[in-house]
Structure 1
Amino acid sequence: MADLFSAEWMQGFAKEWNAEPELADALAKIHFNSAIAYGFVDDPNPMGVLIVQEGRVVSAGSYEGQNLNWDLRADRDHWQQWKTKGLNMMGLGMAYMSRKLQFRVGDYTAMIQDPRMAKPFIKSFSVIGRV
């Protein structure tokens, strides 16, 4: 099993992302384009990054200085918990308010207020669990 957010893991995440209609198709409908990074709170830089165009991941791998629209961070234990159990809207709010999930880049408030983005974002946590 590849390490969480390694290049190999991110490629598996990309495959699962693109296979999930509630994520890829939903984001395609709103013409979602973004560079989304994932990593750990204690690291200066994120580990992995997805490049999303029209809702689908077109590139996945290690973070190498790409300009980011989103940079999501948590400690290893919380990522593992969300990987196993997923995350719902209430859990997301609690994780954000308690700083267990940090948005180093990106506007959490704008995202969470737009159901067209919030629902796929929540879905991404169940997709993480498939990798």
Structure 2
Amino acid sequence: MADLFFDEWMKSFMEQWNAEPELSDALAQIGFNSVIGYGFDGEDQPRGVIAVENGKATSAGAFNGEELNWDIRCSDAQWQKWISKPPGMMGLGMAFTSGKMKFKVGDYGAMIKDPRMAGPFIKSFTVMGRS
């Protein structure tokens, strides 16, 4: 497996994203467009980024200064835990409230209250495990 959130890993994540109907098709139904950064807590910028247009990932790779709609951070250990065993809604909520998962950009509260976004967000962790 390539290093988490580096260019090769992000490109694999993009392929897996587009291959998962519960993620890409579900987000296409609501016209979801975003640039999402992923990285580690305590670092100045995310390591990887994925651009999504109408639910489909259109580009991915190492972060290169893109303007983000979402910037999600956790410790390496937390990411590894979720990649090996994807969290459910309660696990994500606990991680957010305890500070184990941080949104440097984006509104976690608004996203998690919208089942059209929350379900695909949770599915994205399963997809990460395939990358």
Using structure 1 for the length normalisation, give the TM-score. Answer: 0.99
For residue 83 of structure 1, report the CA deviation from its aligned partner: 0.5
- Letter paired with 1:14: M
SS at match of 2:67: coil
Identity of aligned residues (%): 59
Partner of 1:113 in structure 2?
113
Superposed structure 1 runs of 4+ greater than 4 Å apart? none
- Letter paired with 2:99: R
> Which string of whole-angstrom CA distances, capped at 9 and with x for unpartnered residues, describes residues 91-123 of structure 1?
000010011110000000110110000000000
Partner of 1:88 in structure 2?
88
SS at match of 1:9: helix
In 2: Cα distance, 1:54 partner to 1:125 partner: 19
In 1: Cα distance, 2:110 partner to 2:13 partner: 24
- Letter paired with 1:78: Q
Partner of 2:73 in structure 1?
73
In 2: Cα distance, 1:2 partner to 1:120 partner: 24
Partner of 2:18 in structure 1?
18
In 2: Cα distance, 1:54 partner to 1:93 partner: 26
For residue 42 of structure 1, report the CA deviation from its aligned partner: 1.7
SS at match of 2:91: helix
> Alignment length, in residue pairs?
131
Unaligned runs of 5+ in 1: none
In 1: Cα distance, 2:126 partner to 2:91 partner: 13
> Which string of whole-angstrom CA distances, capped at 9 and with x for unpartnered residues, describes residues 49-85 of structure 1?
0000000000000111100000000000000000000
Partner of 1:99 in structure 2?
99
Partner of 1:50 in structure 2?
50
